[in-house]
Structure 1
Amino acid sequence: MQPPTIHYADYLQLDKILNAQQPESSKPGHQPAHDEMLFIIIHQTYELWFKQMLFETDAVLDTMRKPALNDNSAELQTAVHRLKRIAAILKVLVQQIDIIETMTPMDFLDFRDMLRPASGFQSWQFKILEAKLGLRFEQRHGKEYYTSQLRPAEIVLIKEAENTTSVITLLNTWLERMPFITDPYLWINYQPVAAGNQPPEFFKDYAYIYKNSLAEGEKNNSVFFDQVFFDEPINTHRQLTAKACRNALFIMLYRGYPMLELPFQLLETLLEIDNQLGNWRHRHINMVQRMIGTRIGTGGSTGAGYLKGALDTHSIFKEIAQLNSFLTDRKKLPLLPGELTAKLGYSF
């Protein structure tokens, strides 16, 4: 049998999409506001991109929550690829603000009051995305009312996302099991830089090198180094253990080796996602200030004030970003033993 013919418009369900714009200002009793159509389409587009990012995030979670993620298979590469797609979509979200900023504040006032209490603050998809990436409830700015404008079914979905294992939690598990550090055979011929080191010898060595490279004004970093890499977290604010941080630092230091290139890309892509989320929030703040100044949002939030608070606190992968504070000149790095470098390179 011949497969059924699929028409472009039917495949994309264009009837539904193109008839989904119903401006309030076009309804009886209102003066039509030309820019409301743009406002609706921009926000519908945002929600479609949020849906795609959630789709990619769920796929990454499915891969990373496997009991044994095979680093030598295509699984890790696929996860990195999908995370890079999320970062690329976020760049588009930032660029879309250029389009909405073609609307002037007076254009917005033509229909703004008709929106109440609808608001981007009610975007449950974006809140779910943040939760699945790893933003905890206690980290949220304005957590006392961040679900106050949502419908009960939407709140349930967000709570479910907050209670599932997040990307950053799975990242911690993945980093902790990095095999190159735990195999004693690979380190049997390691030559320590500083005498009298105790296991983990390499990291004690690196601590010695790093601390001796600090300028006078950076000496506080010496204490901070020990807190990050040797003291296990005793509070709920830290999401990466000391062991995971040590292994992430090792990846950053020796990323030139082929076996560490993909793990390094994973870390860098997560930082890029955080960076683009920050860019989006920053542009959103500027847009809101331009449109409504210091007035409250249509959903009852503090408008630009709320967005500024979120920008300052909603950094999901900041514990990875802080590791860059502990890098040192590659010429000073400890020399890795041959048994380890053979494992980190290509095998023939």
Structure 2
Amino acid sequence: MKNSYTQKEQYYGEYLGLDKILSAQLPESEARGIDAHDEMLFIIIHQTYELWFKQIMHELNSILDIFQATSINDNAPSLQIAVHRTNRIVEIWKLLVSQVDVLETMTPMDFLDFRDLLTPASGFQSVQFRELETKLGLKMENRHEKRYYEHQLCPVHVEQIKALEHKESFLELLEQWLERIPIWSLEYWDNFELPEGAPKDIHPFWATYRHTYESGLVSEELAAINMNDFDSLFFGKGEQTTRLSPRSLQAALFITLYRDYPLMQMPYQFLSKWLEIDELMANWRYRHMSMVRRMIGMRVGTGGSTGANYLKGAMEKHHIFGDFTRITTYLIPRAKLPKLPKVLEQKLRFSAK
């Protein structure tokens, strides 16, 4: 292979740095003369995870660059590029989840052959993964058992993660993008007719939508669904229970409801993919938790955490995009959707002009 830019001939192994990669597996058991065949598998699996984390970070950083722009044209390549790279992250996460199948070919006794040699190293100390969580939007204050981060990570790595918290996360940039979506201007809604019984003190679309939604609840749902939560979620009334602003959640719900319009398709796909990533990350934690229970039962982790119990708590608490899943409670059938004003309908269609 010849590179036309450098005129340097490339050789496969040199280009990929295989000497470094393939000599980076140094089983502790081998160094100590202990027979622990599966330690090689354990090392390679975790090194592979770290390589995939690096690729996810590479894709995420490019998406962050796109969303740091003050405006994103949904007809321009930038959003489509972001969707494409987000989909790549989805496929990588599917691979990371399925990779647990290979690790589970190791039995508890196989693991015990070398487990004590790992102490106090632990997957908990994966700095790349902690940085990835932080860049996505998981704050230290919202982490499960956050005391472990001070004790299990070295001070330099703790400071790296804290430094990232001072930068805008993807969740914050996503919120700002949603808030900028120009669909609520009253010029579109001046002649919008409210149904009888709809509230008059909120935006006409939301007055209509709230009335339509509440009117469609059956008796069992009326007992289970409190409209105060709707008002808190989308209007900021009462106690705030979300990390995202009401305006951004309004836009997310609107995109979901009217995703059949051409200009809503890309935003819908983008949001949908990040919900899928949130689910895949939770599934990965679940698979890891189940494997740890099978391997070591209720013993503590090599890094000093509570093992499976810690992983269970992290799985339940570390949903970064959980606010978006809440809006599905408030969807209504297409047949009942408020008909959009013609001027706004035209805006949401592709135009050759």
TM-score by length of 1: 0.95
| Aligned twin of 2:349 | 345
Hey, what's the Cα distance between the residues in 2 that align with 1:244 and 1:261?
Answer: 17
- Structure 1 residues 317 and 185, CA, compared in 2 at 3 Å: closer, same or farther? same
| Aligned twin of 1:271 | 275
- Whether the aligned pair in 2 keeps the contact of 1:193 and 1:334 (CA below 8 Å) is no
| Aligned twin of 2:291 | 287
Secondary structure of the 1:129 match is helix
Superposed CA deviations along residues 95-142 of structure 1, whole A, max 9, x for unmatched, are 000000000000000111111111101111111111111111111001
- Whether the aligned pair in 2 keeps the contact of 1:131 and 1:162 (CA below 8 Å) is yes
Q: Aligned pair 1:167/2:170, yes or no?
A: yes
Hey, what's the Cα distance between the residues in 1 that align with 2:327 and 2:64?
Answer: 24
Show the 5 A alignment for 1:328-339: 328-339=332-343
| Aligned twin of 2:304 | 300
Show the 5 A alignment for 1:38-187: 38-182=41-185, 184-187=186-189
- Structure 1 residues 56 and 232, CA, compared in 2 at 3 Å: closer, same or farther? farther
Alpha-carbon distance, 1:345 to partner? 1.0
Hey, what's the Cα distance between the residues in 1 that align with 2:269 and 2:284?
Answer: 22
Alpha-carbon distance, 1:199 to partner? 4.2
Hey, what's the Cα distance between the residues in 2 that align with 1:214 and 1:10?
Answer: 65
Secondary structure of the 2:149 match is coil
Hey, what's the Cα distance between the residues in 2 that align with 1:147 and 1:272?
Answer: 30
Hey, what's the Cα distance between the residues in 2 that align with 1:261 and 1:192?
Answer: 27
Give, as a single letter, the amino acid of the residue that structure 2 aligns with 1:228: L
Superposed CA deviations along residues 73-105 of structure 1, whole A, max 9, x for unmatched, are 111111121122111111111000000000000
Give, as a single letter, the amino acid of the residue that structure 1 aligns with 2:189: W
Hey, what's the Cα distance between the residues in 1 that align with 2:199 and 2:26?
Answer: 73
- Structure 1 residues 147 and 48, CA, compared in 2 at 3 Å: closer, same or farther? farther
- Whether the aligned pair in 2 keeps the contact of 1:134 and 1:316 (CA below 8 Å) is yes
Return 5+ residue gaps in structure 2 as ranges. none
Return 5+ residue gaps in structure 1 as ranges. none
Hey, what's the Cα distance between the residues in 1 that align with 2:77 and 2:307?
Answer: 44
| Aligned twin of 1:226 | 231
Alpha-carbon distance, 1:39 to partner? 0.3
Hey, what's the Cα distance between the residues in 2 that align with 1:75 and 1:234?
Answer: 37
Hey, what's the Cα distance between the residues in 2 that align with 1:89 and 1:20?
Answer: 23
Hey, what's the Cα distance between the residues in 1 that align with 2:237 and 2:60?
Answer: 28
- Whether the aligned pair in 2 keeps the contact of 1:197 and 1:205 (CA below 8 Å) is no
Hey, what's the Cα distance between the residues in 1 that align with 2:284 and 2:259?
Answer: 29
- Whether the aligned pair in 2 keeps the contact of 1:50 and 1:126 (CA below 8 Å) is yes
- Whether the aligned pair in 2 keeps the contact of 1:172 and 1:239 (CA below 8 Å) is no
Hey, what's the Cα distance between the residues in 2 that align with 1:46 and 1:233?
Answer: 43
Hey, what's the Cα distance between the residues in 2 that align with 1:228 and 1:199?
Answer: 14
Alpha-carbon distance, 1:258 to partner? 0.2
Alpha-carbon distance, 1:238 to partner? 2.6
- The CA RMSD over aligned residues, in Å, is 1.6
Hey, what's the Cα distance between the residues in 1 that align with 2:219 and 2:84?
Answer: 42
Hey, what's the Cα distance between the residues in 2 that align with 1:13 and 1:291?
Answer: 34
Superposed CA deviations along residues 47-78 of structure 1, whole A, max 9, x for unmatched, are 11111111111111111011222332111111
Query: Which of 311, 318, 343 in structure 1 is aligned with 2:315?
Result: 311
Query: Which of 15, 19, 39 in structure 2 is aligned with 1:15?
Result: 19
Hey, what's the Cα distance between the residues in 2 that align with 1:234 and 1:73?
Answer: 39
Alpha-carbon distance, 1:232 to partner? 5.6
| Aligned twin of 1:190 | 192
Superposed CA deviations along residues 272-297 of structure 1, whole A, max 9, x for unmatched, are 01000011001001100011011001
Hey, what's the Cα distance between the residues in 2 that align with 1:222 and 1:257?
Answer: 28
TM-score by length of 2: 0.94
Hey, what's the Cα distance between the residues in 2 that align with 1:112 and 1:264?
Answer: 45
